Chain A
Amino acid sequence: MGAKAPKATYVYCAVQALRKPSLGRAPSGPPGLGAHRLLDAGHGLWLVVADAPPARFDEATIQRGLHDLKWLSRCAVAHEAVVESFVRARAVVPMKLFTIFESDSRALAEIARQRRQLDRSIQHVAGGREFGVRIRAVPDPVTRPSRPRRKIETGASYLAAKKQARDTTRERAERGRARVERAFTALAGLSVDVRRHPPPPGGAQSTRLLLDAAFLVRNPAAARFRTATRQLARDLRGDGYGVEVTGPWPPYNFIDS
């Protein structure tokens, strides 16, 4: 049944494991996709895939869907949840959302073509989980230089007060930058690999983002890494810096294509 309807192959991730992975843990994927299946790519590598009915997953439909955040979010969260369910394997290589091939054999052929690179990536990320860390200056009225209560009488004293406020802010930013660099170095020391994202367009100035980085951490160090980020968050909070940690993620940032 359904033999006439062509089906494309949606790929969630590649999983390396000594034994064939179980699909039992995996939650359901993006709406409209078929049940999860495994494709044996040989030498302990499996692709986690699903049938993608072209009516719902052709290029035009997906392009339209990109503008519908509700749909896009459901797909993204479901995709990530499926990938996430395989993280206990020796290595999981997440695919980008909407990685779709014409058929199983086309997906396998592509894997075979990139196998050498893929194996290098697998070796690199094996046993590692990714943590994201962002540090930003939080505008904080308490630590902001207080405005003099008295009415400023002269233009000169007004300008002097303004300059002092500006200098204080600048010094704080300089100190902050140095502290953030030290924090980055400390966290990097607990990691196997690091990806530091460049400041967003518009400049760090406008976003107050001092650090946006992903850390690949292997298990014995993971607990220490978490402790270090918590300590960091406590230390920096008093100085008006927010530390945001996400993860552990599958190693999205550490697969080289």
Chain B
Amino acid sequence: MGFAEADVSLLDVLDHVLNQGIVLSGEITLGVADVDLIHLRLLALVCSADRALSSGAVPGVIPPRRRP
């Protein structure tokens, strides 16, 4: 599976958990460059115009994960 095939809500989850919510920095830290690289790729996808089309630009609220 490549980044391009990842589904929309998955990209949002990745975007949130990789980029945000940092109060602690753990001792086993990821190379900043690695995370930045991934984050840039994500950002490009999250922000791409194609995505609006493929997701149907769903109005309303998409839950962050599918609830059972």
Contact = CB atoms under 8 A, between A and B. Distances in A.
Given A69-B6, A230-B59, A99 B25 contact: yes
B57 A242 contact: yes
Contacts of B59: 229-230, 233-234, 237, 243, 245
Give the one of A58, A200, A212 with max B CB within 10 A. A200
Contacts of B43: 200-201
Contact of A66 (B27, B34, B57): B34
Interface in B1-59: 1-3, 6, 9-10, 12-14, 16-31, 34-35, 38, 40, 43-44, 46-49, 52-53, 55, 57-59
B28 A62 contact: yes
Contact of A200 (B47, B52, B55): B47
B21 A95 contact: yes
Contacts of A248: 61, 64
Interface residues of A, number: 75
A48 interface: no
Contact of A244 (B22, B40, B52): B52
Q: Which 3 A-B residue pairings sit nearest by Cβ, starting from the closest? A: A242-B57, A233-B59, A252-B20
Given A62-B30, A230-B59, A246-B62, 18 more contacts: A13-B21, A59-B30, A66-B34, A76-B13, A80-B17, A80-B65, A84-B64, A93-B21, A97-B18, A132-B12, A138-B52, A200-B47, A201-B44, A207-B49, A244-B57, A249-B64, A252-B19, A252-B20
Interface of B: 1-3, 6, 9-10, 12-14, 16-31, 34-35, 38, 40, 43-44, 46-49, 52-53, 55, 57-65
27 contacts: A11-B26, A70-B1, A72-B14, A72-B38, A76-B10, A76-B17, A80-B16, A84-B65, A94-B16, A95-B23, A99-B26, A100-B26, A101-B27, A101-B28, A102-B28, A106-B27, A121-B23, A136-B57, A138-B57, A209-B47, A229-B61, A242-B57, A244-B57, A247-B63, A253-B16, A255-B21, A255-B23
